[in-house]
Amino acid sequence: MAVSEQYLQDFLNYLRVERNLAKNTQQAYLDDLADFWQFLSIKNILNPGRVDHQDLTDYARHLKQRKMAETSVARHFSSLRAYYKFLIMEGYLDNDPTQFLDSPKLPASLPKILNYEDIELLLNAIDLDTALGLRDRALFELMYAAGMRVSEVCNLSMEQLLLDEDLILIRGKGNKERIVPLGGEAKKWLLEYVEHGRPSLEKGYYNAGILFLNNKGKPLQRKGIWFILKQLAETAGLNKSVSPHTFRHSFATHLLEGGADLRIVQEMLGHVDISTTQIYTHLDSTYLKEVHSSFHPRARKS
């Protein structure tokens, strides 16, 4: 086994056990590192201790020649930094060649959101005469009501519904738990789905009590949610880019527009750092400027 492969396995164990990252995230790290080592194999470099700043500069040039998007380049560099940070931490290496590696400067972008009318349009386009329709209505009502990540929705179990208390227990990144209140509409459609939709979807497969099932009785996957939402947007005639995360962004923005405290929104989103939540205050101020510019009689520029 090459030294680099041994270290990669140790790194994977670190990501899985100590950082408790999702499988998709673990795989993203490994894919980025595999790409890096494939490039270095041309130089006959198999040991991470032999990598120097020039090798990283050459790799950055290589990524640029492949016309890779700057966001992808930044992710590759982030994976390399995490990998070498791990090697230093474990005492495998003494020097970190990535310390002077410059990531491309990405333009700051505000998350896309749906206004309330857009969300109503999507929800009202769902066919409620089928079990799958009841599932979809409960699913998207919940995502908007609780600001959940798509991975959190896919892993949500029946036992996490605390409907008698109008609450939901969410297990987020790093298996950290948070409790979020549920509004009346979300609770109504969750009860409707649990009582009249989900039993029709169970096909005898073991589903570990997962709440949202596909038409085969197995747990609904993130790709399935993406597909459902895309089809729903087409049915509703919504000419906007929509993703499952759009519901999370809309949840946060609409709370702040309604006067919610930033710290409370941070808790409900499960953000460790409030600076992550503060992007929604920028979005809210943009919205306020648009309203002011549109309706204030002295706001129009000459």
Written as one string, the DSSP assignment of 173-193 is: GGG-EEEEE--HHHHHHHHHI
CATH of the domain at 53: 1.10.150.130
Shared domain for 76 and 151, answered yes or no, is no
Evaluate whether residue 253 is within a structural domain: yes
**Cα–chain-centroid distance for residue 257?**
22
Shared domain for 153 and 283, answered yes or no, is yes
Shared domain for 263 and 168, answered yes or no, is yes
Domain around 20? 3-100
245 catalytically annotated: yes
Shared domain for 71 and 156, answered yes or no, is no
Evaluate whether residue 108 is within a structural domain: no
pLDDT in tens, 91-105: 888 888 888 887 766
Evaluate whether residue 105 is within a structural domain: no
pLDDT in tens, 212-257: 999 999 999 989 999 999 999 999 999 888 889 889 999 988 888 8
**pLDDT value at 133 more than 60:** yes
pLDDT category at 295 given cuts 50, 70, 90 is low
Evaluate whether residue 257 is within a structural domain: yes
**pLDDT value at 162 more than 80:** yes
| Structure token pair of residue 2 | 């090459």
pLDDT of residue 1: 36
Shared domain for 58 and 122, answered yes or no, is no
Shared domain for 95 and 125, answered yes or no, is no
Closest CA to 225 of 167, 280, 151: 151
Distance (Å, rounded) from C-alpha 162 to C-alpha 220? Answer: 21
Shared domain for 83 and 176, answered yes or no, is no
Residue where a domain terminates, one of 100, 125, 143: 100
Q: How many domains does the chain have?
A: 2
Evaluate whether residue 298 is within a structural domain: no
pLDDT of residue 173: 80
CATH of the domain at 245: 1.10.443.10
Shared domain for 146 and 226, answered yes or no, is yes
Residue where a domain terminates, one of 45, 76, 100: 100
pLDDT in tens, 164-219: 998 999 998 877 899 998 888 999 999 999 999 999 998 877 788 999 999 999 99
Shared domain for 7 and 155, answered yes or no, is no
**Active-site hit among 76, 149, 198, 254:** 149
> To the nearest whole percent, how much of the chain has pLDDT over 90?
39
Shared domain for 29 and 122, answered yes or no, is no
* 166 dihedral zone (left: phi>0; alpha: psi -120 to 50; beta): left
Distance (Å, rounded) from C-alpha 65 to C-alpha 77? Answer: 16
What is the pTM assigned to this prediction? 0.64
**pLDDT value at 300 more than 60:** no
**Active-site hit among 16, 50, 112, 173:** 173
**Active-site hit among 76, 137, 249, 271:** 271
Shared domain for 187 and 287, answered yes or no, is yes
**Cα–chain-centroid distance for residue 202?**
27
66 catalytically annotated: no
248 catalytically annotated: yes
Evaluate whether residue 42 is within a structural domain: yes
Shared domain for 67 and 190, answered yes or no, is no
Contacts of 274 (CB under 8 A, 6+ apart): 262, 263, 266
Q: What is the mean pLDDT of the chain?
A: 86
Query: DSSP code of 219?
Result: B
Q: Which amino acid is at 119?
A: I
Evaluate whether residue 139 is within a structural domain: yes
Residue where a domain terminates, one of 100, 133, 165: 100
**Active-site hit among 245, 254, 263, 298:** 245
Beta strands in 114-268 (DSSP E): 161-162, 167-171, 177-181
Q: What is the mean pLDDT of residues 12-18?
A: 86
Range 257-264 contact pairs with CB under 8 angstroms and sequence separation of 24 or more: 257/284, 257/287
pLDDT of residue 3: 46
Q: What is the mean pLDDT of residues 133-145?
A: 95
